Amino acid sequence: MNTVPHFQEELDHLKARLLEMGGLAEDRVRSAVKALVERDLALVEQVLAGDTPINQLHIEIDSRCVKLLALHQPMAVDLRSILSAVKINTDLERVGDLAINIAEAGLRYLGHAPVKELIDIPRMADIAHGMLRDALDAFVKRDTLLAQQVLDADDALDALKTQVFRELLTYMLQDPHTIEPSLDLILISRHLERIGDHATNIAEDVIFMVSARDVRHHAH
């Protein structure tokens, strides 16, 4: 019984669905940040109400992974690919959740006068999205060099998070009216940092999948 081509086909399908899920998650984060910057309340509400497709995809991908393992009992890199898919699926679902968290903080933020023009937060979102896209690309192409680049990009995100924090602190110290909305911007910057963390997790999974080398828990 030749199950190998069938397995590869199913694996390709799984990868395509993961990419689709990554695209959905990214869109939702992008909308949440856009709604914040443009003070678009309708778009905030849209993000808050719109997590059904990504949640359905999360369940579908998980069940695809279980089926692939049960029916084909893959070995070596194929086995590691499916285990990576299980983990990546979890990471992408959390990114979807973070879009909700950003929208929730955004909703509170829009209830106040704007603290400042938002420059660094959209920049953080761009970096996080780039990391996420590269990490998924690295997964599909089994490209460990690209995965390594994702790990390196995390420092830029971290530096921006610190910068956002310091700047908002000065606003809060000068004017107590800015304390509440500034807190929400700080939380949003942490949520964006966590999207970078999820991209980092995915990149580490890719390196493990390709090389069976565990790069987690080492300085990078």
The residues of the shown chain that bind a second copy, judged by CB under 8 A, are 51-52, 55-56, 58-59, 62-63, 65-66, 69-70, 73, 75-76, 79-80, 83, 86-87, 90, 169, 172-173, 176, 179-180, 183, 186-187, 190, 214, 216-217
**Start-end of H helices in 142-220:** 144-174, 179-211
- Kindly list the distances between the CA atom of residue 37 and the CA atoms of 3, 102, 106, 122, 185, in Å, as whole numbers in the listed order: 51, 12, 9, 8, 11
Q: Which is nearer to a second copy, 117 or 217 (CB)?
A: 217
CB of 38 to a second copy, least distance (A): 26
Least distance in Å: CB of 214 to a second copy?
A: 5
Nearest to 58 by CA among 1, 96, 110: 96
Which residue in the block uniquely carries the two structure tokens 């080398």? 213
**Residue nearer to a second copy on the CB measure, 216 or 220:** 216
CA 54 from chain centre, in angstroms, equals 12
Return the number of the residue (19 or 186) whose C-beta is nearest a second copy: 186
Q: How far is the CB of 47 from a second copy (least distance, A)?
A: 16
Tell which phi-psi region holds residue 138, choosing left (phi > 0), alpha (psi between -120 and 50) or beta.
alpha
We find the least distance from the C-beta atom of residue 12 to a second copy, in angstroms, to be: 21
